[in-house]
Amino acid sequence: MTDLQASLIAIGGAIVVGVFSYNKWQEYKTRKTVERAFADDQHDVLMHGDAVPHERVEPGFGSPVAQPERQADAEPAVATTPVAADNSAAATLAEAAPVPQEPSAMEETVLHAPRQDLPVDQLIDCTIGLGLESPLRGDRVLPIVHTLRHVGNKPVHFIGLADDGRWEAIAHGRTYTMLQAGIQLASRTSALNEIEYSEFVSRLRQVADDLGAECDVPDMSRIVSIARGLHQFVAEYGAQLSVNVQSNRAPWQISTLLAALARQGFDLRPDGRLVMPDGDGGVLFSIATNAGGGDETTSRLTLLLDVALVAAARDGYGAMIACAKSLAARLDGTVVDDSNQALSDATLEEIASQVHAFYAEMESSEIPAGSTRALRLFA
């Protein structure tokens, strides 16, 4: 080995040792930084009371209402033992409503249009009238209004004032002297915001131009305020009730269980949900096996009622509890809450009385459970 080779080897070794030492030093510094960041004496906004934590609140009919901005991506709350709700959300919705003003002739006709079972509803939609230069047939109107069906996740609908003086969903073969557009103000996920409203107005004006119509656009700030109030109502009244049937012995075989549930009257929907039909094309409540894709057994069933979507007259809660008790008797199980505590008849009766009060409050807010309005808002 020459002196040059020996020198190169020595230099290379020194470089390797230097890089290794530097990396170890950096690793030490990083570890110390992390330790200091999670030291007990550090101020942690998740642990100290002077900051607002994103804590999990056990939901119920009387649980605090989330603001629209924080509720946008939230899943609907699930409760087993609710407490009675108040009318704070309905009051907020009423306070947000605009002060009535003297309407124009066109606005007066639109404002007094019947809303029952129509796709445009003044209570839950931002409604804008379109005055036509001359009567138009539905065949001419439909292709144009169908270009505006949604803005974001908010549905848009149109109705027309027919030549017989009745408001109706626009149809072929009919003639209309006036139209009305409506975009839904709120849903379970969010309220209509400024960006969505601006897009709706812009696209609606294009529709009006194509139809030779004129439209009067409401003030954005007032519409957004009403939308937020309605969304608060939806957040408070979007309660879901659940009860569970827990096996007293060995877990149930999924294949055997599904057959038993079919005999109990449950239908398997294309989306994979097991639901109890109401006999009129709707759903009373659903049931989940709590089993993963590869599981062959389960020891727990969960029955879920979406309260706002089932009319009070159908007694979805009573039907769900009766089904849970029947399944518990047949499968050797116990009806329990989410904490695995057995639910007594007295507790179930107390919840039933609160459900009845909940329905009464929705009725007084002019959005009865199971109604067209409720199905649109809480779907």
pLDDT at 274: 96
User: Residue 191 has what DSSP assignment?
Assistant: B
Q: Residue 37's pLDDT is what?
A: 29
pLDDT of residue 141: 98
356 plus 312 within the same structural domain: yes
Give the residue from 346, 301, 288 showing the smallest Cα distance to 81. Answer: 346
Asked if 154 contacts 184 with a C-beta cutoff of 8 angstroms, the reply is: yes
Q: Each residue of 88-100: pLDDT tens digit?
A: 455 545 544 443 3
CATH number of the domain encompassing residue 146: 3.30.1400
User: Any residues with CB less than 8 A from the CB of 96 and at least 6 apart, and which?
Assistant: 225, 226, 228, 229, 230
Tell me, what CATH number does 242's domain have?
Answer: 3.30.1400.10
Which residues does 36 contact at the CB level (< 8 Å), separation at least 6? 42
Residue 133: the pLDDT is 94
What is the pLDDT, as a whole number, of residue 293? 79
Same domain for 185 and 242, yes or no, is: no
Which candidate, 242, 281, 260, 229, places its Cα nearest to that of 329? 260
In 212-344, which residue ranges form alpha helices assigned H by DSSP? 220-237, 254-264, 316-331
Low-confidence ranges of the chain (pLDDT < 70): 1, 3-116
Q: Do 142 and 195 reside in the same domain of the chain?
A: yes
pLDDT at 294: 84
| Same domain as 267, residue 358 | yes
What global pTM score does this model have? Answer: 0.69
pLDDT attached to residue 327: 95
Indicate the SS3 state at residue 181.
Answer: strand
The widest CA-to-CA distance across the chain, in whole angstroms, is 110
- Shared domain for 144 and 201, answered yes or no, is yes
Residues 322 and 371 in one domain: yes
Same-domain check for residues 251 and 196: no
Place of tokens 């190169």: 8
- Domain count across the chain: 2
Give dist(CA 159, CA 327) in Å, integer: 47
Whether residue 171 contacts residue 119, with contact meaning beta carbons closer than 8 Å, is answered with no
Domain encompassing residue 149: 99-218
* Residue in the structure block whose two tokens are 């072929």: 172
Instruction: Check residue 100 and give its pLDDT.
Output: 38
Rg of the chain over Cα atoms, rounded to whole angstroms, equals 30
Quick check: 184 and 192 in contact, CB under 8 A? yes
pLDDT of residue 352: 97
| Separation CA 287–CA 344 (nearest Å) | 20
The reply to whether 336 and 278 lie within a common domain is yes
pLDDT score recorded for residue 23: 52
